Amino acid sequence: MVIKCSCGYKSNNAGSTVIREEVIDKGRSVELVDSESDMKSLPKLNVECPKCHHHEAGYWEVQTRAADEPATKFYKCIKCKNVWRDYS
């Protein structure tokens, strides 16, 4: 069995390989919304929080992948401040 990453790394010893996610900075950054004033300015959606199941969240979009692919939508729960993303 061989494990191969999209970055080009390849391992022939898949049985003892530990898989982890590592973000390599390519000069791009993802901005998270921290303050209450930022939350007030975000557009709101009726979407269920996976953590507390509240049905309102602020959202913003960031182009995290290639320009020909859709932007990643980030959500932040109004109630518990949990942040999650939607890749679709």
Ordered per-residue pLDDT tens for the chain, 88 residues = 667 777 777 777 656 656 666 666 666 555 555 555 566 778 999 999 999 999 999 998 888 778 888 888 999 999 999 999 987 6
pLDDT of residue 20: 67
* Domain CATH code at residue 52: 2.20.25.10
Give dist(CA 26, CA 17) in Å, integer: 25
Residue 63, in any domain of the structure: yes
Domain count, the chain: 1
For 69, phi then psi, to 5°, come to -110, 155
User: Which tokens is 58 given?
Assistant: 């602020």
pLDDT of residue 83: 92
Residues with catalytic annotation? 68-69
Give dist(CA 31, CA 6) in Å, integer: 24
pTM > 0.75: yes or no: no
Residue 71, in any domain of the structure: yes
Residue 5, in any domain of the structure: no
In 10 A of CB 49, how many CB atoms?
20
Q: How far is CA 74 from CA 30, 35, 43, 62, 88, in A?
A: 10, 15, 11, 8, 11
